[in-house]
């Protein structure tokens, strides 16, 4: 098929035996070619082309400008092609293929557009995706079909799976709700697609770790869309800091407040709402940028929660090395200055609002403007044409063969999420077998969410760690429930009723790749840590004998004396003596166990004496009783400031769990799963000798 009379006919050629690309000169008029079946055929029509810069590789020319009325699609040499590989011009409408009275340059006027290295796919068609598409148009060019038509996108899909499986897509911009980033992101990465994921990367550190691991496994590019990092103004800030323009930075302050309580996405937990994940992330990332990705030494956070359980406002103070501080305040309830200040020993840098997409920089009183291009359509968010900068950053990274951006590396995304996890780290939900009990407990302790079943708690995506504080007989089924739901578990001691049940819990933790620890809180007290230090340094020489005694008047407590409730001195308090011995002997298994005791009419042990013999003739003995100060005329009870003595010390085991999760550990080195297995094994043998038997000892596995 020939072009209309009077017009020149030219082809855009690519040499198959090299990476160079030959292109026509400025204002050349040439035909379009389209792939029909296995053959390239000319498409009637014409247009003028501006001068095109020479690009480095043919593969890097593979792109689809969905944001322009006409899509210029230069295929790589690896696709089916004739001996000369011609460009494919995908016209938006048939009318655009017809010649007009005067030739017009229908391709975008800026030649740098032809350097775009990617064929983008939009995953999600919400407000941010709209703005991203509009921003792409500044690069010099209600349902998914309407969105595609509005933005001149040649393809629209009804599912993310269809988008992920399209071989024409090189890069996916993930603009779905926060809560879907992990699931949809893994789908995209596993399909071998490069991905730019809208902030926040995911809902927590575990999910972010999964996304990063998937990107490395499938060898694809991945970047969190912290667009602020790519703005020219922020690049200037980094240059000034690198050149020591204001001396050593001592304080960073960042504010971001925007009234959003009327927006469901901002206030509903199931939609990933809350000030921190929505806007606070910008203030925290700014701090990390200033301090060059350094991990803070300490984090203090306080805030106000909505009835929905998400944070309305929050203040975060971080301390870095050399006594450097950062202060962040953000809120979805009120407007704030939305600026950021960096104070150094020689001067001050101020990023005027909006600090997350800035155009005005003040350095020691001198102001500089960084204007943005005008949008072609109305925007949903302030300065959204600045999204072009992160799109350009992605392009440059792909051209260089990078798998992550040096301006927003994956390590900083991981650290940013860890900090946000820590800011949110609190008791956020409680569950009981009766909803009324859970609600009363939640109200007493200011816990925003209460559930009437353990299953509901297990399904809550906001919950990362569950403290299992049920009675002993329920530890196995409840612990298994939460671990199967991918929750990390801190299980109150004893971990279960016997060795077999403990083995099942440990196996489940390993199978589901979650953290599991027995809550033997004693191990984490400063005094216990000091004992371990003294022993490791040989302060008392070789240990030959360990003695431990624990008695408490618990005969009046049903939980302590009834078999169906898992009662008995050994499981309730004797375990503390035994764990202390195991700690001193560094988890060594005893060579010999001898136990004797007294049982109640219920079949539970009232008191027990256990003697353990270890290698090299080392000994240990412990006694435990739930009746040592009960007389025939009455009972003496010690004063209990909480429900149990020194219960505020439970903060130490909570901190141990936090540290382990931050390090990516699946068990605690201070209270290992091997320690729990040994405890259960010794207690099983002691109970066997004394004659204490529970129904669980005859039950089969869960």
SS (H, E, C) 336-401: CCCCEEEEECCCEEEECCCCCCCCEEEECCEEEECCCCCCCCCCCCCCHHHHHHHHHHHHHHHHCC
Contact 383, 357 (CB under 8 A): yes
The stretch 40-49 carries a mean pLDDT of 32
Cα–Cα nearest to 391, from 175, 107, 146, 144: 175
Q: What H or E segment, with its residue span, contains residue 31?
A: strand 28-36
The stretch 563-582 carries a mean pLDDT of 90
The stretch 179-190 carries a mean pLDDT of 94
pLDDT higher than threshold 50 for residue 82: no
pLDDT confidence tier of residue 146, bands split at 50, 70 and 90: low
Q: Is the dihedral of CA 495, 499, 501, 506 positive or negative?
A: positive
pLDDT confidence tier of residue 12, bands split at 50, 70 and 90: very low
Distance CA 383, CA 135 (A): 9
The verdict on domain 429-522 having CATH code 3.40.50.720 is yes
- Residue 281 CB neighbours (<10 A): 25
Contact 389, 232 (CB under 8 A): yes
All CATH 3.30.360.10 domain ranges of the chain, comma separated, are 232-369, 543-697
Distance CA 650, CA 254 (A): 34
Q: What's the CATH code, domain 232-369?
A: 3.30.360.10
Distance CA 413, CA 173 (A): 17
Lowest-pLDDT choice from 246-250, 658-662, 697-701? 697-701
Contact 97, 91 (CB under 8 A): yes
Contact 575, 494 (CB under 8 A): yes
Which whole-number Å values give the CA distances from 635 to 184, 553, 627, 629, in the listed order?
A: 61, 7, 9, 7
Which whole-number Å values give the CA distances from 670 to 2, 7, 603, 632, in the listed order?
A: 80, 81, 34, 42
Query: Residue 186, by phi and psi: left (phi above 0), alpha (psi -120 to 50) or beta?
Result: alpha
Name every residue whose Cβ is closer than 8 Å to that of residue 226 and which is 6 or more positions away in sequence: 199, 281, 282, 285, 390, 408, 413
CB burial class (10 A; 0-12, 13-18, 19+) of residue 11? middle
pLDDT higher than threshold 50 for residue 577: yes
Residue 480 is encoded by which pair of tokens?
Answer: 């298994």
How many helices (H) and strands (E) in the chain? 21, 27
Residue 97 is encoded by which pair of tokens?
Answer: 């293929």
What's 543-697's CATH class?
Answer: alpha beta
CB burial class (10 A; 0-12, 13-18, 19+) of residue 530? exposed
Q: Compute CA 228 distance to the chain's CA centroid, rounded to the nearest angstrom.
A: 20
Greatest mean pLDDT among 305-319, 467-481, 637-651:
467-481
pLDDT (tens digit, 9 = 90+) per residue, 95-107?
332 333 332 322 2
Q: CA torsion, points 646, 648, 653, 654, in degrees to nearest 10?
A: 170
Contact 462, 202 (CB under 8 A): no
Lowest-pLDDT choice from 82-91, 316-325, 675-684? 82-91
Contact 680, 575 (CB under 8 A): no
Distance CA 377, CA 518 (A): 57
Question: What is the percent of the chain where pLDDT is above 70?
Answer: 72
Q: Is the dihedral of CA 66, 67, 72, 74 positive or negative?
A: negative
Cα–Cα nearest to 383, from 353, 362, 361, 405: 353
Q: What H or E segment, with its residue span, contains residue 303?
A: strand 298-305
Contact 173, 193 (CB under 8 A): no
The stretch 475-494 carries a mean pLDDT of 94
pLDDT of residue 426: 54
pLDDT confidence tier of residue 142, bands split at 50, 70 and 90: very low
Distance CA 116, CA 140 (A): 10
What radius of gyration do the chain's Cα atoms show? 33
Question: Whose structure tokens read 């990476």?
Answer: 19
């Amino acid at each position: 098929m020939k072009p209309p009379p009077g017009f020149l006919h030219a082809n855009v050629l690519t040499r198959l035996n090299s990476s160079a690309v030959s292109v026509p000169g400025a204002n050349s008029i040439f035909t379009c070619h389209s792939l029909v079946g296995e053959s390239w055929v000319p498409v009637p029509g014409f247009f003028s082309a501006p001068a095109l810069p020479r690009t480095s590789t043919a593969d890097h020319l593979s792109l689809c400008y969905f944001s322009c009325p006409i899509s210029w699609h230069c295929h790589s040499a690896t696709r089916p092609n004739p001996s000369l590989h011609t460009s494919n011009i995908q016209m938006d409408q048939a009318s655009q293929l017809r010649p007009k009275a005067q030739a017009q340059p229908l391709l975008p006027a800026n030649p740098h557009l032809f350097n775009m290295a990617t064929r983008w796919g939009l995953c999600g068609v919400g407000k941010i995706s709209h703005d991203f598409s509009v921003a792409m148009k500044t690069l010099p060019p209600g349902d998914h079909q309407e969105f595609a038509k509005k933005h001149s996108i040649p393809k629209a899909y009804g599912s993310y799976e269809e988008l992920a499986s399209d071989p024409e897509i090189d890069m996916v911009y993930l603009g779905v709700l926060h809560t879907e980033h992990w699931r949809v992101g893994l789908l995209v990465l596993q399909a071998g697609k490069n991905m730019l994921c809208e902030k926040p990367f995911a809902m927590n550190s575990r999910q972010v770790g999964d996304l990063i691991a998937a990107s490395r496994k499938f060898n694809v590019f991945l970047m969190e869309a912290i667009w602020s990092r790519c703005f020219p103004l922020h690049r200037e800030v980094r240059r000034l800091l690198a050149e020591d323009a204001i001396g050593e930075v001592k304080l960073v302050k960042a504010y971001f407040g925007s009234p959003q309580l009327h927006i469901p996405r901002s206030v509903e937990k199931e939609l990933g709402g809350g000030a921190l994940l929505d806007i606070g992330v910008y203030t925290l990332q700014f701090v990390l940028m200033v301090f060059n990705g350094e991990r803070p030494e300490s984090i203090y956070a306080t805030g106000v929660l909505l009835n929905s359980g998400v944070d309305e406002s929050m203040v975060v103070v971080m301390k870095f090395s050399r006594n450097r501080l950062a202060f962040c305040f953000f809120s979805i309830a009120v407007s704030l200055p939305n600026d950021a200040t960096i104070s150094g020993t020689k001067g001050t840098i101020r990023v005027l609002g909006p600090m997350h997409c800035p155009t005005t920089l003040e350095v020691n009183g001198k102001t500089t403007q960084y204007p943005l291009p005008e949008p072609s359509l109305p925007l949903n968010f302030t300065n959204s044409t600045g999204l072009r900068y992160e799109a350009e950053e992605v392009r440059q990274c792909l051209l260089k063969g990078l798998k992550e951006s040096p301006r927003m590396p994956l390590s900083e995304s991981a650290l940013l999420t860890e900090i946000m996890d820590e800011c949110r780290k609190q008791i956020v939900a409680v569950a009981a077998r009766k909803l009324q009990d859970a609600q009363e407990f939640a109200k007493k302790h200011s816990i925003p969410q209460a559930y009437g079943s353990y299953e509901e708690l297990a399904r809550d995506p906001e919950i990362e760690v569950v403290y299992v504080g049920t009675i002993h007989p329920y530890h196995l089924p409840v612990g298994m429930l939460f671990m199967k739901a991918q929750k990390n578990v801190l299980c109150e001691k004893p971990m279960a009723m016997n060795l077999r049940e403990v083995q099942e819990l440990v196996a489940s933790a390993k199978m589901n790749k979650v953290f599991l620890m027995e809550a033997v809180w004693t191990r984490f007290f400063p005094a216990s840590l000091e004992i371990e230090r003294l022993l490791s340094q040989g302060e008392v020489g070789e240990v030959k004998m360990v003695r431990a005694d624990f008695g408490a008047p618990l005969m009046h407590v049903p939980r302590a004396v009834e078999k169906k409730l898992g009662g008995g001195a050994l499981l309730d308090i004797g375990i503390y003596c035994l764990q202390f011995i195991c700690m001193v002997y560094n988890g060594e298994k005893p060579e010999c166990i001898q136990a004797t005791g007294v049982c109640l009419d219920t079949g539970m042990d009232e008191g027990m004496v256990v003697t353990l013999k270890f290698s090299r003739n080392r000994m240990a003995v412990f006694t435990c009783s739930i009746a040592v100060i009960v007389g025939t005329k009455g009972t003496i009870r010690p004063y209990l400031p909480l429900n149990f003595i020194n219960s505020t010390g439970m903060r130490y085991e909570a901190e141990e769990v936090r540290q382990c999760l931050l390090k990516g550990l699946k068990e605690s080195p201070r209270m290992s799963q091997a320690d729990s297995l040994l405890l259960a094994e010794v207690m099983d043998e002691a109970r066997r000798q004394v004659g204490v038997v529970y129904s669980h000892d005859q039950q089969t596995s869960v």
